[in-house]
Chains A and B, each alone.
Chain A
Amino acid sequence: AQTVTQSQPEMSVQEAETVTLSCTYDTSESDYYLFWYKQPPSRQMILVIRQEAYKQQNATENRFSVNFQKAAKSFSLKISDSQLGDAAMYFCAYRSSQGAQKLVFGQGTRLTINP
């Protein structure tokens, strides 16, 4: 079974600075998808960014980018120019390319933005 590990329970960053959240995963599959979700205090799950494993190019979405290292099974999220609205729980998730669209989530990282 696939597992996802986020080793940083909490992180903090100064407003306007850059922060990187770590995620590692374990799988024997070669084709899969990886996601970062944001959960603000409202508890609504918001998709931040998505990466297909067969793509070598790292995904980017405005201030959010990933560093996908397939051989190392690492998938970190970089947030540039941090804003107060970025404060939230961030979850890394894995999805197999086969079968139903079941997501396997990491434990989450709570990100605090210091003004």
Chain B
Amino acid sequence: DGGITQSPKYLFRKEGQNVTLSCEQNLNHDAMYWYRQDPGQGLRLIYYSQIVNDFQKGDIAEGYSVSREKKESFPLTVTSAQKNPTAFYLCASSRRGTTNEKLFFGSGTQLSVL
């Protein structure tokens, strides 16, 4: 079945540690996105990528980094510079990044600080 796979489902970070959240899609989608969701709030865009080897900052990119070396993969690294990383992280993809295509979401990763 085609879809988006996020792993792990739960992740714990120690102080000063970088952690990487995985996002893989087999939908052959060009565009991929990372959103952050805090309790009781909507989703905020961290980074997005419309094609391989290219990505742009979203509204809250500070303390995060991404790469897009393969079309299928868009990993998100939460660096030690992100002082409040505890949140639910959602990855999404769409067939084309510049048209009204439906976004497909993964099942998310809950990141907590130890």
* Chain A contacts to B: CB under 8 angstroms: 4, 6, 9, 33, 42-45, 47, 50, 52, 91, 93, 95, 97, 99-108
Contact = CB atoms under 8 A, between A and B. Distances in A.
Contacts of B58: 102
Nearest to B101: A101
Instruction: Find the residue from A42, A100, A105, A107 having the highest chain B CB count within 10 A.
Output: A100
Given A43-B107, A47-B102, A95-B100, A100 B41 contact: no
B33 interface: yes
Interface in B32-46: 33, 40-45
Contacts of B42: 4, 6, 91, 93, 105-108
Interface in B89-114: 90, 92, 94, 96-103, 105, 107-108
* SS of A interface (majority): loop
Nearest to A9: B40
B50 A100 contact: yes
A33 B105 contact: no
B55 to A, nearest CB: 10
Contact of A102 (B48, B88, B102): B48
Given A100-B98, A101-B100, A107-B41, A45 B31 contact: no
B56 interface: yes
A101 B97 contact: yes
Shortest beta-carbon contacts, A-B, top 4 = A105-B42, A45-B105, A105-B43, A100-B97
